[in-house]
């Protein structure tokens, strides 16, 4: 059976991506990164639940150096997570070159596992403005991986959500049976989602526009 490495945070987008990979006939090798993010424990719990539901082989990789680098509200608690709504530009929740590092490690695992593809749930159309979610970046990483692996290694990077809106992702997830109640998107809380960080706002907006109800607990539901 053909294999795919899926970068799986335990969030809605990556979980939907993993289910799409399964639907497309791949045996799933799920890779999760603990990088000292604020919600590391909750994300790991979500990852394990989703990976189990997919009967996936798993890798849990610790990347503590992200905290040493800092420069992001997700790993440096001295920087506040913004809660006033999504604004133009790159937000302080951007973790420098995170997806580049994740894809590099996923490529090493894919080569070892003899996987044909790496799936990553990046969203360019309706995201928080992260530069490492751009389609042009993903294409460049695929080329770099091809150049940096054995000649017989052929790995495609697949991004099934990259041009979708959040409401489309919610609709797709519900259509293919993703257990969204097991996923976690909040940037700052682990017991109840805050409801006001960029990630919560995007998720809530997606559910609202899709005409569906999100089953995870929220501390606050923004009115706009």
- The reported pTM is 0.97
The percent of residues above 70 in pLDDT, for the chain, comes to 98
For the chain, the residue count is 224
Residue 224: its pLDDT value, please? 58
Q: Which ranges of 54-165 does DSSP label H, i.e. alpha helix?
A: 65-69, 98-113, 135-147
Q: Pick from 48, 29, 33, 32: which is nearest to 114 by CA? A: 29
Q: Is the pLDDT of residue 125 over 80?
A: no
Contact between residue 96 and residue 71 where contact means Cβ atoms under 8 Å apart:
yes
Contact between residue 118 and residue 157 where contact means Cβ atoms under 8 Å apart:
yes
φ, ψ dihedrals at 212, nearest 5°? -125, 165
The percent of residues above 90 in pLDDT, for the chain, comes to 93
Q: Is the pLDDT of residue 126 over 70?
A: no
Q: Is the pLDDT of residue 127 over 80?
A: no
Question: What are the tens digits of pLDDT across the range 137-181?
Answer: 999 999 999 999 999 999 999 999 999 999 999 999 999 999 999
102-107 average pLDDT score: 98
What is the DSSP secondary structure assignment for residue 160, as one 8-state letter?
A: T
Give the DSSP letter string of 162-187. TT--HHHHHHHHHHHT--GGG----S
């Amino acid at each position: 059976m053909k294999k795919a490495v899926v970068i799986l945070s335990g969030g809605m987008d990556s979980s939907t991506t993993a289910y799409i990979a399964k639907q497309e006939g791949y045996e799933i090798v799920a890779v999760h990164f603990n990088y000292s993010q604020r919600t590391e424990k909750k994300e790991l719990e979500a990852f394990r639940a989703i990976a189990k539901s997919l009967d996936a082989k798993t890798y849990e990789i610790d990347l503590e150096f992200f905290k040493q680098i800092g420069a992001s509200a997700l790993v440096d608690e001295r920087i506040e997570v913004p809660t006033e709504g999504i604004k133009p530009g790159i937000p302080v929740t951007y973790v420098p070159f995170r997806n580049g590092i994740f894809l590099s490690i996923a490529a090493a695992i894919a080569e070892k596992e003899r996987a044909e593809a790496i799936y990553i749930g990046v969203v360019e159309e309706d995201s928080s403005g992260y530069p490492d979610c751009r389609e042009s970046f993903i294409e460049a990483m695929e080329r770099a991986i091809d150049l940096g692996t054995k000649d017989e290694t052929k790995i495609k990077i697949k991004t099934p959500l990259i041009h979708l809106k959040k409401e489309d992702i919610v609709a797709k997830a519900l259509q293919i049976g993703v257990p969204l109640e097991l996923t976690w998107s909040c940037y700052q809380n682990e017991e109840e989602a805050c409801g006001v960080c960029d990630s919560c706002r995007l998720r809530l907006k997606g559910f609202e526009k899709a005409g569906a109800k999100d089953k995870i607990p929220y501390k606050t539901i923004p009115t706009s």
